Amino acid sequence: MSSLTACPCGRHLAFDDCCGRIHAGMPAPDAESLMRARYSAYVRGDVDYLRASWHPRTCPSDLDLRGPQPTWLGLDVRAFDVLDDNRAEVEFVARYRIGGGSVVRMRERSRFVREDGHWYYVDGDVA
């Protein structure tokens, strides 16, 4: 993808100037940026980044994105709560569709931790 390709995360920047830098190894500056980078990874089918950004304690042993995949339609961050220096929560709504089906709105309140200067997704509650 070119640097002119819009980032899927909704920040109105080119992918290379937004989530692409985080996918390439730059630590996310905060939990919201990590969550946006993870959304972009789902859009792009980047399993390696999803696994690398998932806390090892909760990362599933099998993360398979083969088979019918959603078409991601957008992301709306509803809340970003810093709990302390190393814990934060992000509430978001992601819209997607599978095949010709109806649009689904997935709402999640995600938990993140920072260890050794890197943010990791721990888990979340889907509403």
Residue 122, CA distances (Å) to 6, 69, 70 in order: 27, 23, 22
- pLDDT category at 4 given cuts 50, 70, 90 is low
Predicted pLDDT at 1: 42
Amino acid at 49: Y
Predicted pLDDT at 2: 45
Question: pLDDT tens-digit profile of 21-67?
Answer: 999 999 999 999 999 999 999 999 999 999 999 999 999 988 877 77
pTM above 0.85, yes or no: yes
Question: pLDDT tens-digit profile of 106-125?
Answer: 999 999 999 999 999 999 99
Contact in structure between 77 and 95 (CB atoms under 8 Å): no
CA distance linking residue 123 with residue 100, whole number of Å: 29
CATH class of residue range 15-126: alpha beta
CA distance linking residue 101 with residue 19, whole number of Å: 28
Question: pLDDT tens-digit profile of 66-104?
Answer: 778 899 999 999 999 999 999 999 999 999 999 888 999
* Sign of the alpha-carbon dihedral angle for 84, 90, 33, 11: negative
CA distance linking residue 82 with residue 76, whole number of Å: 18
Sketch the domain layout of the chain as residue ranges.
Answer: 15-126
Predicted pLDDT at 26: 96
